[in-house]
Structures are given as C-alpha cells and as structure tokens.
Amino acid sequence: MLGCLVVILCCCFGIIIWWDGYYLPYKYCRPVTYPDGNMNGLKEGKWFSTTTTASVNSVMVFYDERLLTGEHSLGDINLGEWHRKELQDGRLLYECVGIDINLLTVETGCIYISKQNEGTYIESWFLRSEGGTITCSRIKN
C-alpha cells in the first residue's frame, strides 16, 4: 500500500516537472552571464545586469563565441538559436526564442549590451510563456 502511494506521488511530481518545464534540460535561450559564462543564474522573469570595464567589442566577441553557434537541433524541434541585432538607440541585442523540450513552454532570452561612460553595460532577461512568444523590447526603459 505504501509502495503504491510512493509511486503515485513520484508520478505526479514527474508530471508537474514535465508540465512546467523549467527544470528540464535544453535551455538554449537562457542568457549567459558575463564574464563567467554561467547559464543557471537567471530564473524566469528575472534579470541580470552588470557593468564592466571591457570594451563593447570584447563583450560582443564573448557572446558571439558562446551564443551564435547555430548548433542547437533535436529532430524537427526548434530549441532556439541566438541572433544579434543592432537597435536604433545604439544598443546591441542578442535574442533567442525557442520551444522548450516539454513542447508547451516558449522561452525568450534577451541580452542588451551598450556603451556606458568608460565601460560596457550588460542587461539580460529570461522570460517564459505558454502558447505564445514574448519578444525582447526594442525600446530602452
């Protein structure tokens, strides 16, 4: 009897984890933090920001090497690819929109890079939704 209850609870827990999708692997749209390259620091709807003395070009090279590989594929499932755009206000935007491995959740990663005084300002967002995409803002807040 106790064994059946444990099995049922484990199955329910597994279904909840799969349905939410946040803890599943293949988070290609989760932003990478600068300069350590960590992908796990951002949680849904959260942001990361930092200012560095590195030039915009060296920060851009860092992100180009880590994000613009285009090697993310699993059959016909779109796991997300990063794209770089220059915004009208002069900032660089790295953006990724992809379907999570649970095929229910759409994830959006946004990384903004801008020149600021004698350094570079970096701001990252990780957003998730179900059923539709959330695009990165093109307007500076």
Residue 92 falls inside a structural domain: yes
Residue 141 lies in a domain: no
In this structure, of 37-46, 47-56, 64-73, the range with the lowest mean pLDDT score is: 37-46
Q: Is the Cα torsion angle 16, 17, 18, 19 positive or negative in sign?
A: positive
pTM recorded for the entire structure: 0.74
* Residue 138 located in a structural domain: no
- The 3-class secondary structure across 18-70, one letter per residue, is HHHCCCCCCCCCCCCCCCCCCCCCCCCCCEEEEEECCCHHHHHHHHHHHHCCC
Token readout for 28 is: 């290609």
pLDDT category, 76, cuts 50, 70, 90? very low
Q: What is the CATH number of the domain that holds 53?
A: 3.30.530
Instruction: Establish whether the linkage from the previous residue to 31 is cis, with ω within 30° of 0.
Output: no
CA distance 137 to 141: 9
139 within a domain of the structure (yes/no): no
pLDDT, tens digit, 9 for 90 and up, residues 101-125 = 667 778 888 999 999 888 999 999 8
Phi then psi for residue 49, to 5 deg, are -140, 150
In a domain, 135, yes or no: no
Angle at 105 between CA 125 and CA 97, to 5 degrees: 45
Q: Please check whether residue 34 lies inside any domain of the structure.
A: yes
d(CA 95, CA 80): 10
Between residues 67 and 47, which one has the greater pLDDT?
Answer: 67
Does the residue 46 lie in any domain? yes
- Answer yes or no: is 15 within a domain: yes
Count of the separate structural domains present in the chain: 1
User: Mean pLDDT over all residues of the chain?
Assistant: 76
Q: By residue range, what is the domain housing residue 60?
A: 2-130
